[in-house]
Structure 1
Amino acid sequence: MTIDIREAYRRALEDFGALVHRIAPGQWENPTPCADWDVRTLVNHVVNESLSVPGLLAGRSAAEVGPAFEGDLLGDDPLKAFDAAAAAAAHAVGDDGSLARVVRLSFGDVTAAEYVTELFADALIHTWDLARAIGADERLDPELVEACAAWFADAEDDYRRAGVIGDPHPAPAGADLQGRLLAAWGRSG
């Protein structure tokens, strides 16, 4: 990966956040490309992940961190909830700690570098999901798409076996890298 993974994650989270701030009042219930998720559920998911980042990077396990962030985390002010969670995650990822340290996730231990890469990929793909759901520009940052595609080429089989992504869709003829990446993640568009 040519871009620092911490920078890639921060940029993907910022792009997602820019779309969160564009959600119109009547769009929170719009369906998303994520099966059974509306816009509010999608944003809540990203907030949940973001709130978990500081504790997980500090050495707490997913079992210890997870219960604190269940349910509706958006409350009456989803924008404020997102902004606070994203700032906490970006701060935790941006510290001087080693990306080689161990992060204890629900499915096993991974390096902090792998964990941040997974966060980055999730934020990037969900940025497209949110753009599609609210009718915004669906073009993702090409540098981030390239970085995600390079990582996902090796991670796709593991993600599919774990059941955390949908079945791949055939990429349209002549699809660019973004189109091929989205198809691999089970998105059609």
Structure 2
Amino acid sequence: MTNSSLWLIPDAINRFGVRVHAVDGHRWNDATPCSEWKVRDLVNHMVGEHLWVPHLLAGESLEQVGDRYDGDVVGADPVRAWDEAAERSLAAWKGADLSGTARFSFGEAPLTVYADQILVDLTVHEWDLARGSGQPERLDPAAVDHSLAYARANAERIANLGIIAAPVHTTSTDPAVQLLSLLGRAV
């Protein structure tokens, strides 16, 4: 485990899971900072993402996985769906060899980049889930620091993907606020 995001991922998965379990039943349709997603949609996105992890870390291609995780992957029980996806993802990360590369929708990249992206997604979407479901919004400082370094180093590429809102100006010195603002969240 030489990549620092790799050792941060298990705790980030577990923290996100704690947030999923804490969603009050009536809050699943509440808005999140991700303008197109309700709380349930956000969890659906993360479940789908973590269902992909074992395949990509095992060297499968996008074509081999296909569209099996498109659409609604949480069904009637988002909590159970998250728990099952998280368990599979955790097992894959614990045995991961990040020395190789994989092909992603944006092209081929080292698996260390994939680990960084997963950590950023877990960290930022943990905040999105907390904000959308009325939970405390504090984030893990180590995950924030690593995610902020990755986001700063890749800001132009991230912006060019067109999948997140434009950065929001901030004068805050708080690393979490800087990360969230850089990734289009108004804190």
TM-score bucket of the superposed structures, by smaller chain: over 0.9
1:14 is aligned to 2:14: yes
Asked if structure 2 preserves the Cα contact closer than 8 Å seen for 1:62 and 1:105, the reply is yes
Post-superposition CA distance 1:77-132 (Å, at most 9, x none): 2111100101111111110x421211111121111111111011011100000000
Asked if structure 2 preserves the Cα contact closer than 8 Å seen for 1:13 and 1:123, the reply is yes
Structure 1, unaligned runs of 5 or more: none
Question: Which residue type is aligned with residue 80 of structure 1?
Answer: R
Corresponding residue SS for 1:110: strand
Please give the root-mean-square deviation of Cα atoms over the aligned residues, in Å: 1.4
Asked if structure 2 preserves the Cα contact closer than 8 Å seen for 1:52 and 1:66, the reply is no
Structure 2, unaligned runs of 5 or more: none
Q: How far apart, CA to CA, are the structure 1 residues paired with 2:172 and 2:81?
A: 40
Asked if structure 1 preserves the Cα contact closer than 8 Å seen for 2:172 and 2:178, the reply is no
TM norm structure 2: 0.94
Q: Give the % identical residues.
A: 37
Q: How far apart, CA to CA, are the structure 1 residues paired with 2:117 and 2:149?
A: 13
Residue in 1 that maps onto 2:97: 98
Post-superposition CA distance 1:148-184 (Å, at most 9, x none): 111211111101011122101111x334111111100
Asked if structure 2 preserves the Cα contact closer than 8 Å seen for 1:160 and 1:167, the reply is yes
Residue in 2 that maps onto 1:185: 183
Q: How far apart, CA to CA, are the structure 1 residues paired with 2:99 and 2:71?
A: 31
Change (3 A) 1:66 1:14: farther
Asked if structure 2 preserves the Cα contact closer than 8 Å seen for 1:50 and 1:89, the reply is yes
Q: How far apart, CA to CA, are the structure 2 residues paired with 1:130 and 1:175?
A: 23
Asked if structure 1 preserves the Cα contact closer than 8 Å seen for 2:30 and 2:132, the reply is yes
1:1-189 matches, within 5 Å, as 4-95=4-95, 97-171=96-170, 173-189=171-187
Asked if structure 2 preserves the Cα contact closer than 8 Å seen for 1:3 and 1:147, the reply is no
Asked if structure 1 preserves the Cα contact closer than 8 Å seen for 2:57 and 2:111, the reply is yes
TM norm structure 1: 0.94
Question: Which residue type is aligned with residue 5 of structure 2?
Answer: I
Aligned length: 186
